Amino acid sequence: MAKYIALNKNSDFRALYHRGKSQVHSALVTYVKKNRFGVTRVGITVGKKLGSAVERNRCRRIIREAYRQTLPRVPDGWDIVFVARRHTLKVKSTYILKIMQTHFKVLGVLDR
């Protein structure tokens, strides 16, 4: 069973965009905020400007795989949103994993 729940309400995404902390990279933007549910909720967004449905789904798969590798280190009780950017199309999940870990350390999700 997964250790996180998919974040899919528009109001939850908007709350993260406005009240959450963020880190930006040319391939990925990460928004995080503590929640009161005791379980980690994760959302992935990819805009239509990035390309066709095939390319957007590839971006989602890459981000999902990188997060899956980080999952054991992420504590419960966080809302996380990943936003794919143009550079995400050109990189592999291992590169996204490094970016994700850096973002999590800076934002205080992982131990330093």
> Is residue 110 in a domain?
no
Domain that holds residue 73: 4-101
For residue 76, give the nearest of 10, 2, 9 by alpha carbon. 2
- The CATH number for 62's domain is 3.30.230.10
Query: What are the pLDDT digits (tens) for 69-107?
Result: 998 888 888 999 999 999 999 999 999 999 999 999 999
Is 37 within 8 Å of 26 (Cβ atoms)?
Answer: no
- For residue 54, count CB atoms less than 10 angstroms from its CB and return exposed for 0-12, middle for 13-18, buried for 19 or more: exposed
Checking if the pLDDT of 112 tops 70, the result is: no
Q: What is the reported pTM?
A: 0.91
Q: Where are the alpha helices (DSSP H) in 20-92?
A: 53-70
Strand 21-24 and strand 28-34: pairing? antiparallel
Q: DSSP assignment, residue 77?
A: S
